[in-house]
A and B are shown apart, each in its own frame.
Chain A
């Protein structure tokens, strides 16, 4: 969690921006305020960590398709495993940006940040890909013998 919820949390998270108003952030005048720099930095680091995860997923998918030897008897086996990983990486990159925007907005309003769906999406998809990979490995073993 980026910030605790409860009474007074919003006030702790925000800083006085009356001295350095920025025309690029007009919402400050509409009841929103620039949050404490530490929370902004923490939100940014979370986004960057998800971005590295997304890049790792894309690289893993590409490596499976390009570097693994083909499954005997299942010529499209590598694509069945690698393509969802690449798509998942792309989805994680986009969703993490949207979550960063949402969290930043919540911080500016002094609201608690909402729960992230990314860990659940990542866990379920990787588990499914693992099951498919196991099935392919078994199938190629049966085809070979």
Chain B
């Protein structure tokens, strides 16, 4: 059996690998946001960084090669995380101290 056949058997169209990369990009997006917020508001930045690590791990977990069963709870976690971030963003924006902007 040729090596190329092996890959097609275990991961047709490299769909699994591309999906893992999509999970990685999502985790990096959260990490970038957490890192950006961390300096000014550590209480909001640290949980977002923890969530990004969780998302990274969720992308790695679970699926043996070839299996493609859906994972509703993993995806629901992303939705809950984004909704929580948006609620925190609204609270910071509407209830927090007025920001002067970047311009001095």
A residues adjacent to B (C-beta < 8 A): 20, 22, 25, 34-45, 47-49, 51-52, 54-56, 58-59, 61-62, 65-70, 79, 82-83, 86-87, 89-90, 93-94, 96-97, 100-101, 104
Q: How far is the CA of A36 from the CA of B11 in the complex (A)?
A: 12
Tally of chain B residues near chain A (CB < 8 A): 40
Given contacts A41-B68, A90-B82, 20 further A-B pairs with CB under 8 A are A35-B68, A37-B68, A39-B68, A40-B68, A44-B19, A45-B19, A48-B22, A48-B25, A48-B26, A55-B82, A58-B86, A62-B89, A70-B101, A90-B86, A90-B87, A93-B86, A94-B79, A97-B75, A97-B76, A97-B78
Contacts A55-B82, A65-B93 known; A37 to B100 CB distance under 8 Å? no
Contact of B99 with A by CB under 8 A: yes
Per DSSP, are chain A's interface residues mostly helix, strand or loop, or mixed?
helix
